[in-house]
Structure 1
Amino acid sequence: MIHILFGASASGSLKYVLREMGLDKKEKVISFWDIFSIGPVWQLHEESGKEARFEWMKKIITDKYDEFLDYKKGFEKTINQINSIPEGVHITIWTSDNAHEQTGLRFVVYLLKEKNVDISLINTTAEYEELFQVKKVKYTPLYSGEISPEKLQIIYEQGRGKFFTDHDREDLEKEWLSLLGNQETLRIWRNGKIQSVPEDYYDKFIIKKAKRLHAKQKKKDFMKSARLIGEVLGHLDQYVGDGFLEYRLRELIEKGVFESEGSLEAMRFYSVKLKM
């Protein structure tokens, strides 16, 4: 069995679960440390597409501590691991209802299109709602990485999963190819589908939350950028990551919507204030 996941948190939790169950020697975990709801995916299965994505991701990931270099190496390593999967193995892809993991799912299924392998899907959103939902409390994790290892183990042991037919795989491969024709760099999950939206889609939401935080101040003043990003993240119904939101905040500073004090080198180093 080979498990494929999207994100460091989810893969770390599953590795812990497999160790606890004594399966870590039998079952392998492959993970993309990326967020596929953001950035270009045009021709991502080709070298030109990867380079275009890497170039765009430089806006999101700083290279001060070799973070970008680590990201790039990690991406290439994961692609090589998937390409090296032998024939005849059983692959389980873990996903949930968000544009990040759903885009990743289609990408991986496309990468596996020439391989004679069995593929199963575990949708953690559906499994969570089935196994853990309390009637009076409606809570659904935004992405698999929000699920605790204890609950992930229950999903692994008791989840129903779905075995992909050839038809299922062909449908996902076609959906991946349709995504490639779009130049947008932001995707959301709506009505069971991946939708591409403009890169500034959340700008008005960032401004709205800044106004709300300013209203709580005695006098309109600078606020830590991390405080604003945290406020936005806490109210989003999509998973895009704090790096993307901080990139959009810096764009709004450049446009003159916000003023800033401190170094824009990293989120923790500066504060912002709405100019209007």
Structure 2
Amino acid sequence: MIHILFGASASGSLKFVLREMGRDKKEMVMSFWDMFSIGPVWQLHEETGKETRFEWMKKIITDEYDEFPDYKQRFEKAINQINSIPEGVHITIWTSDNAHEQIGMRYVLHLLKGKNIDITLINTTKAYEELFLVKKVKYTPLHTGEIPPEKLHVMYEQDYGKFFTDHDREDLEKEWLSLSESQETLRIWRNGRIQSVPEDYYDEFIINKAKKLHGKKKTNEFMKSARLIGEVLGHLDQYVGDAFLEYRLKKLIEKGIFESEGSLEAMRFYSVRLNR
């Protein structure tokens, strides 16, 4: 069995579960450490598409710890691992209802196209709602990485997988080809579908959260950029990550909507306030 997940925390949790169960020698975990809801996915299954994405991600990933080479290496490693999966194995793809994981799943299915492999899908959103939702508490994890290992363990044991037919796979592979024709750099999950939106889609949301924070202090003084981005993240119903939100905040600084003090090199080094 090979498990494929999208994100460091999700794959780390499942590795922990498999170790606890004593199955870590028999079952392998592969993971994309990327965020497919942001950045170009145009022709990502081709070399030119990968280079286009890498160029864009360079703008998003902070220079502070020289993370970009590591990001690129991990991306290539994940693709090489998936391409080297032999025929005849059983794969379980773990995904939840957000653009990032749903796009990742379609991308992986395209990479596996034509291989004689059994594929099962575990939708962690649906499994969570059926197994753990408490009446009057409306909490659903935004992504698989938010689900603690003990709950992933229950999903694994309860066998929540849906087996993909050839027809299922073909439909999702076609959806990938359609996605890979788009030029947008931001996608959300709405009404059970991946939807492309303009890159500035959340700019107004960021501005409104800043107004709210200024209002609480009743002054227009500078606030830590991490404080503002944390506030935005805490209220978003989509999974886009803090790096993208910081990228948009810097764009708003460029436009003069926010002013900043400190070094823009990394989030912890600067503060912002709305220009009034």
Fold shared, TM-score > 0.5 on shorter chain: yes
1:94 aligns with 2:94: yes
SS at match of 1:220: coil
Partner of 1:145: 145
Structure 2 counterpart SS, 1:115:
coil
Describe the SS at the equivalent of 1:125: helix
- Tell me the equivalent position of 1:29: 29
Which residue in 2 is equivalent to 1:186? 186
Q: What is the one-letter code of the residue matched to 1:272?
A: V
1:169 aligns with 2:177: no
Kept in 1, the 8 Å contact 2:200–2:248? The answer is yes
In structure 2, what is the equivalent of residue 58 of structure 1? 58
1:52-84 Cα offsets, whole Å, 9 max, x none, are: 000000111123323100000000000000000
Contact 1:127–1:159 (Cα < 8 Å) also in 2: no
Residue 134 of structure 1 corresponds to which residue in structure 2?
134
**Aligned-CA RMSD value:** 0.7
2-structure distance, mates of 1:111, 1:8? 20
Distance in 2, Cα, partners of 1:48 & 1:95: 27
Q: C-alpha offsets along residues 78-103 of structure 1, whole Å, 9 cap, x if unaligned? A: 00000000110000000000000000
Residues 162-181 of structure 1 show CA distances to partners (whole Å, capped at 9, x for unaligned) of 00000000000000011011
* 1:1-276 mapped onto 2 (5 Å cutoff): 1-276=1-276
Question: Aligned equivalents of 2:265 and 2:40: distance in 1?
Answer: 24
Query: Within 2, Cα distance between the matches of 1:94 and 1:163?
Result: 12
SS state at 1:14 partner: helix
The one-letter code sitting in structure 2 at the alignment partner of 1:108 is: V
**Contact 2:64–2:266 (CA<8 Å) still a contact in 1?**
no
Letter of the 1:136 partner, please give it: K
The TM-score, its normalising length taken from structure 2, stands at: 0.99
- The runs of at least 4 aligned residues of structure 1 exceeding 6 Å deviation read none
Q: Conserved in 2, the CA contact under 8 Å of 1:63 and 1:69? A: no
Q: Secondary structure at the match of 2:219?
A: coil
Q: Supply the AA of the counterpart residue of 1:72.
A: K
- For structure 2, the 5+ residue unaligned runs are none
Cα deviation for residue 191 of structure 1 reads 0.3
Measure, in 2, the Cα distance between the counterparts of 1:222 and 1:184.
Answer: 33
| Amino acid of the structure 1 residue aligned with 2:139 | Y
Deviation track 1:13-68 (CA, whole Å, cap 9, x = no partner) reads 00000000000000000000000000000010110000000000011112332310
Aligned equivalents of 2:116 and 2:225: distance in 1?
Answer: 49
- For 2:201, what is the secondary structure of its paired residue? coil
Q: Is the 8 A contact 1:42 1:183 kept in 2?
A: yes
Taking the aligned partners of 1:51 and 1:23, their CA distance within structure 2 comes to 37
